[in-house]
Amino acid sequence: MVLSAKKDEKEKSLFAAELRAAIGDNKVKDDDIVLATYAHDASPIPAHKPSFVVLPECKEDVVATLKLANKYVVPVAVLAGGVSMAGYNIPSEGGIVLDMHRMDRIIEINTDSGYAVVEPGCSWDKFTAAIREKGFHGLIPTAPGSSSAMGNALGRPSNSMCTRHLDAIIDLEVILPDGTEFRTGSSHFPDAGSSLRYGPYMDLAGLYTCGYGTMGIITKAALRIYPINESNRINVAAFDTFADAVDFVKDIIDNNIPEHCIIWNWQLYETFAVDTSNPDTIIPDMLKADPKKAPEGIPYCLVTTFMSGYEEMMVASEKVCAKVAQKYHGRTLSEEQIQELIPVPMMGWNELYAKYHQIEPTFFGLGKYMVWIMFAEPANVKEMEKYAVNELAGLGVAPVCYYAQPFDFGRSIFFRIFAFPDPTDQETIDRVGSKFSEMFGVAMERYGAIPMRHKVQFNCIEQTGGYYDVLKRIKKALDPNNILNRETAIFPEDE
């Protein structure tokens, strides 16, 4: 039975009564105003009104809710921070939204093994403040401080440690629809902590990283944390081509210099200085220019290289950065040049990297944020950059902003390009959305690229062949009634 307007109200009342009896009346909401606020997220995916919003406060509440949802075959959508641009938080019509924000504890901070155990509702701001008191930092994502630390980490984000470490996940506590509980890392042994992701058996954490809530509900996660070192630096190098910037990044990574690198195109780093909080803001003419050619005196790309360690290491590493930049036709910027060229971006980068704290740039107020993200191998990303900039420039949505960064010691390069069309101009918004869908297909076929995450609007999972067949078998075993996060469209309802 799926609870919807078409179903028997008596059955719906029975389900509601059992649910309230199991977890408490104050944790179950069904008034229209509350339901309407949970019908959508920040994505363009159509809204679906749920029948209930459930606010669990502990693991036992989650277990009880899932058991009843499974019994009555009620679809369940899960959210923690509620910040989704991709439609992962959209409920099924008549289903449940499981809002985990009340489960926000930091259960453990282990400075010996370097991990912290958190619940899904724990925000980045709360998490980073708590571990900083212990002299530690975690990965810093491109996400607001109010978003879920665990939820963001599960999406394999473009974080500040991805140059060396692919993700923050070590150990997860998972609840299946039938109420089964298990842990994926070393804590599945009763006397062990969460220091190991890989034990003597299969790595199940990978099933839930980029699983989008379709394989089980995660109630606890152990995330990697790192000591704050004696000294740090943000080295800035300038290049006239994206290809030279990629070669520079690859070289310094191969020689173990950075914790993290980002390549910024000129329209993005120049956009940092646009303060949309001022109602009289005017976009500079320079940002309306052709993004394929930077103005005289403006580097086409800047590379920020974040380094930390002992002070002596920092002095030596800065010399290496200058040497390698010159090797690839670039130059490192002095403090004076930074203050003249990019004082506002540097303030943000210092906050993000030197202080290990999220920033929320004001330029997101320029319009509707529309983004295209792909992974490609280093040689291919050089050509893909030319293609993506040219395609987006042709839509007349300047500024055209992008940044790129290496994953896993530069084995793959993440590329994110975006623009801000007028939110009232639906025709342009539709044109950008259509262009992005076209670009996904071209990038995959021409450049061997893959999307960073699943896209509801561009679902390419069936292209994966046997991989998808195996996933469907696992899904059937773990969630036979297919109640978990149906609207991601990974596992269609008729399956």
pLDDT value at 2 more than 80: no
pLDDT at 77 over 70: yes
Residue 344 has pLDDT above 60, yes or no: yes
Q: How far apart are CA 64 and CA 98, in angstroms?
A: 12
Rounded CA gap, 349 and 359, in Å? 8
Domain identity same for 433 and 348? yes
Q: What is the pLDDT of residues 396-446, one digit of tens each?
A: 898 999 999 999 999 999 999 999 999 899 999 999 999 999 999 999 999
Q: What is the mean pLDDT of the chain?
A: 91
Q: Same domain, yes or no, for 246 and 353?
A: yes
Contacts of 206-212 with C-beta under 8 Å, sequence gap 24+, read 207/474, 208/154, 208/169, 208/172, 208/174, 208/184, 209/154, 209/156, 209/167, 209/169, 210/154, 210/155, 210/156, 210/453, 210/454, 211/154, 212/88, 212/454, 212/485, 212/488, 212/490
Query: CA 234 to CA 350: how far, in whole Å?
Result: 7
Does the pLDDT of residue 87 top 80, yes or no?
A: no
> Residue 141 falls within a domain, yes or no?
yes
pLDDT tens for 129-170 read 999 999 999 988 877 788 899 998 998 777 777 888 878 999
Same structural domain, 442 and 330: yes
Question: Is the domain of 131 the same as that of 212?
Answer: yes
Any domain includes 302? yes
For residues 308 and 343, membership in a common domain is answered with yes
417 in a structural domain:
yes
Nearest to 54 by CA among 40, 34, 32: 34
Among the three residues 227, 260, 292, which one is the final residue of a domain in this structure? 227
Give the domain CATH number at 386.
3.40.462.10
Confidence of residue 362 (pLDDT cuts 50, 70, 90): confident
409 and 355 in a common domain:
yes
Spatial neighbors of 209 by CB under 8 A, at least 6 apart, are: 154, 156, 167, 169
In contact, 291 and 394? CB cutoff 8 Å = no
Give me the number of domains the chain comprises.
3
How far apart CA 125 and CA 123 sit, in angstroms, is 5
Query: Does pTM top 0.95 for this prediction?
Result: no
Per the CB < 8 A criterion, the answer to whether 126 and 101 are in contact is no
pLDDT in tens, 438-452: 999 999 999 999 998
Question: How much is the CA Rg of the chain, to the nearest whole Å?
Answer: 23
Q: How deeply is 312 buried, as exposed, middle or buried, from its count of CB atoms within 10 A (0-12, 13-18, 19+)?
A: exposed
Residue 241 within any structural domain of the chain: yes
Per residue in 20-76, pLDDT (tens digit) is 999 999 999 999 898 888 887 766 677 788 899 999 999 999 999 999 999 999 999
The pairing of beta strand 96-99 with beta strand 76-79? parallel
Report pLDDT for 81. 72
227, 261, 288 — which closes off a domain?
227
Is 473 part of any domain? Answer: no
More confident residue, 158 or 339: 339
pLDDT for the residue numbered 1: 46
Mean of pLDDT values over 170-197 = 96
**Class of residue 319 by CB neighbours under 10 A (exposed 0-12, middle 13-18, buried 19+):** exposed
- Does pLDDT of 3 surpass 60? no
Distance in angstroms (rounded) separating the CA atoms of residues 45 and 191? 45
Cα–Cα distance, 182 to 172 (Å, whole number): 8
Q: Is 137 within 8 Å of 228 (Cβ atoms)?
A: yes
Residues 311 and 364 in one domain: yes
| Of 214, 213, 169, 165, the residue nearest 187 (C-alpha) | 169
Min mean pLDDT across 105-119, 358-372, 409-423 is at 358-372
Is 375 within a domain? yes
Q: What's the pLDDT score for residue 7?
A: 53
Tell me the three state secondary structure of residue 404: strand
| Position 310 pLDDT exceeds 70 | yes
pLDDT confidence of 4, banded at 50, 70, 90?
A: very low
Look at residue 5 in the predicted model and tell me its pLDDT: 44
The mean pLDDT value for 331-352 works out to 94
**How much is the pLDDT for 495?**
46
Q: For residue 277, what pLDDT band results from cuts at 50, 70 and 90?
A: confident
Residue 62 neighbours by CB under 8 Å, 6+ apart: 56, 98, 100, 175, 217, 219
Q: Which domain holds residue 123?
A: 106-227
Q: What is the pLDDT of residue 83?
A: 63
Does some domain include residue 1?
no
pLDDT for 493 equals 67
Residue 178 CA to residue 420 CA, distance in Å, equals 44
